[in-house]
Structure 1
Amino acid sequence: MLNETLLPWPQGKAPDPEQTVEAKRKAVLELYGLDALEDDPELVQITHFTARLCGAPICLVSLVEEERQRFLAREGLEENETPRPTSFCAHAMLLSDVMVVPDAREDERFETNPLVTGHPHIRFYAGAPLISHEGAPLGSLCVIDTEPRPQGLTDLQKEGLLVMAASVMRRLRHRREALAQQAELKRSEKQLQTLADSIPDIAWSARPDGSFDYFNQRWYDFIGLSDKTRHVPRHDLFHPDDKHAWLDKWEEARREAQPYETEYRLKRADGEYRWMLVRGVPVYNSAGHAERWFGTLTDIDASKRESDQRDLLARELSHRIKNIFAVISGLIALRTRGRDDLGDFAGELTGTIKSLGRAHDYVNPVAGRKGDSLRELLTDLLAPYESAGEPAIVFASEEDLPIGPEAATPLALIFHELATNSAKYGALSNEGGKVTLDVRGAEDDDVEGMTIGREDAVVLRWSEPGIAPGGAEDNPREGFGSRLLRTSVEGQLRGRMTRIFDENGLDVKLVLPAASIAPK
């Protein structure tokens, strides 16, 4: 859509006096990039037609510059410029209508002009002003004859000359708009390049065939190149153990035209291999095919090493905890050896410790068990609290809840904390005590204030009877354990937890997004 400020200058209106100031006029002329318009095919066609329309041997598209008038297109004249002081068009461009000179020898403005007294011996001249959209006079579209014309132009010829002058300005305007758009595009590209170079990650793009055609400055800093034209074989930068896995994943992502994410090691300029997280997304064309790829490389080496250290520590800690269970079981066996009266008790206690070991597997963040359903997970977690062979948990309905591996650990932490507290202070601290778990769909009031609808949520309700209510400051459940519960519920599972103490006991309600716990 043409910008309103670029609408043509009204025909029949003289140039804006402010725009006739030479400095302003020169600045406007420079916006058209006139060098590229010399002998422009469209302008040549206009001069050829206008000459025939007016029956004139010469027709010019003349732009008046500071010291010369240059002819972007010409018919019937070899020269492509003449000095400005001899210019007829410098006069015509300042008018509101066609300037007609029937016989230049009889016009005091031009009678001594070298172009009249000498080559090309101008006698008749008619020029339509060329005025920019802001009102700056640029030159004229003119026809010239070597014979005088006392009758001037016919009405049709004059109208045609004005129409063709408007066509010249339309061509000039399109050229100016194209240059402005190119300049804006270059500015945008420069801004985008500056933005891309300012981000801490490596940014890249690739063609549909998988060849990379752009990296931001971070890439060249990483590989130690100051010359962006130099080519560095990409495969030489990969750690030998990662190269084939990366290529397989990249080829699969391209083949499926799906977002791409993986980790691998790349060699930095100093020779050190660094762990990188690479992400890429395809840009689709109208046919649904990936026509470009854009992505980032993020140096995660420090966090990767920290994660590895944490995993190592977690594995060691888990191993030691499991050893403690084994040591306790061994001590029980040792202390009750030969004590037939304690045999049954020792066996029961050893079984309970083994059950605690199984429950511990669920909260091991590195290599723990990941149950497939909530019922399976809770049955294992609460097995240590069985009394006389009776399970410690009662399921209020037959409904089960499939859980994904990502949800198993936070759910295990939540219910492990609830069960531990119950064994200390609640229902499971009593012989034969039980807790009840109800799994149901959510109602409108359950999800009030949340960003999900009731159809996208599930409610888990943990109930314990016979717990005396107490103040939060005196109740051991309101300390670190409560914060752990809320972190798991609200942070990891993006849900909500409410706890109610009353004369009926403890009621814990978890409202969780189905997407947070469902198998992926």
Structure 2
Amino acid sequence: MSLVDETHQRFVAKVGLQANETPRSMSFCAHAMVENCVMEVPDARLDPRFCDNPLVTGAPHIRFYAGAPLVSPQGAPLGSVCVISPEPRVALSDHQRSGLTVLADAVMSRLEARRVLLTKQAWEEAAEADPAASEKRFRVLADAMPQMVWSTRPDGYHDYYNARWYEFTGARPGDTEGNGWNGQFHPDDQAHAWDLWRRSLETGEPYEVEYRLRRFDGQYRWTLGRALPIRDEHGKITRWFGTCTEIHEQRLLSEDKDLVSRELSHRIKNIFQVIGSMIRLSSRGEPTLKAYGLKLSEQVTALGRAYDYVRVQEGTSAMTLQGMLREVFGAYNMNGVERVRIHGEEVFLSEHVMTPLALTFHELATNAAKYGALTSSTGTIDLTITRHDDLLQFEWEESGSLVLHSTERRGFGSELIAASIERQLGGRFTREWLPTGLKATATIPFVEDGAV
């Protein structure tokens, strides 16, 4: 993690790097921090920006670089979270690129939380000193901050706003004291903001909410509000200290990304439908291939439904694993008989975990239809899902198979499963042929909130 100023980049946190800082002229991060996404340099020797850089021609001999920008809520570039390698690489995977972006977001959240905490500590220290002098110092400090700053009495009565608040809102001093602040919010956000504020007052928990705040020109701008309580030596709240940070541009950018994502999802869904239609039309002219074409079309449709199931719920924190698997296995049920049975408690997982799992179990079901239990009209499969602390385990057991030994060569399907479970999700996958048929076990890391 590097922070870049006018003359240097400083490595605030690092792993595997000895240097503590370098001149800004050598900094890769100075370029990455002004990008809108992860910046990748596959081979720095071939990049005109860096080919003559001392960090490339000399130690640590950087070849590959990838950095996610660190940008303040006000839009100021601060530095980046990056990875470097002495070996060239083609590119990060989507999963790795997403992970680097999430890590950068987490760093910025910690930095902002640290900023609020330090300001809170400054307030506490000032309160312990001479009251008149400390009040004056605090007001100077608060007025110099780029954020809007406010404080309240223990009961939540707002009695102070810094100059930035009045500049942004155009309110006159005294207009927003007490509960008048809520009137500055968009009507659709007022009830939600007030409910969260009331909860914080009752519980003493930190306050955090996104809302639209009316600017002096009447335009509503998305804002992030945060507040922490100040307590005395007995734990009693003596004041609340809070900030408001405009995040309007970031919010609009996020909404634009969601719009593009939904459009891409729509196009991919159409591709599934087109492929299924092409298979059905092509097989009609070949009677010997009609049954095979129908089955293949059903499988493509099932995978399309699984993809659609994941994307429909985009914007939520997690999705149900069993719901997705029922979509994948739908094509293998016959006449209302559930041939692939799912057991175990419902599990909520994020989209980036669902996709490789969908590919894995679609491949297992396809193989079962070609080599295993689903080659028989009476064959069945039981998939049991269990949680063991920080692990999630899947047991796939086939019965009634006409083929009781492995006839599958290690080809694309095996490589796909290995890439999905082992390399992408960091798990383990094993398979063995029992007298009753195939038994496969997959184990992946799992934590309570669904993030893997």
Instruction: Decide which structure has the larger Cα Rg and report it.
Output: 1
User: What TM-score do the two structures reach when normalised by structure 1?
Assistant: 0.44
